[in-house]
């Protein structure tokens, strides 16, 4: 498992993510896209 912070709105970030995965593991078996945009939701401090 490898967790990477990637801004999916930036093409270079997604290319960097794929490159790092291939260099480490040689392939991608599962990809979880946990990107979200919450319109109109107020953020509360933790």
> 6-44 as b/e, with b when 16 or more CB fall inside 10 Å?
beeeeeeeeeebeeebeeeeeeeeeeeeeeeeeeeeeee
Ranges of the chain whose pLDDT falls below 70: none
- Spatial separation of the C-alpha atoms in residues 11 and 19, rounded to whole Å: 12
- Whole-model pTM: value is 0.63
Q: How confident is the model at residue 35, as a pLDDT?
A: 78
């Amino acid at each position: 498992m490898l967790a990477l912070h990637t801004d999916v709105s930036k093409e270079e970030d997604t290319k960097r993510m794929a490159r790092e995965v291939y260099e480490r593991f040689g392939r991608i078996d599962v990809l979880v896209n946990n990107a979200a945009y919450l319109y109109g939701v107020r953020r509360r401090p933790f």
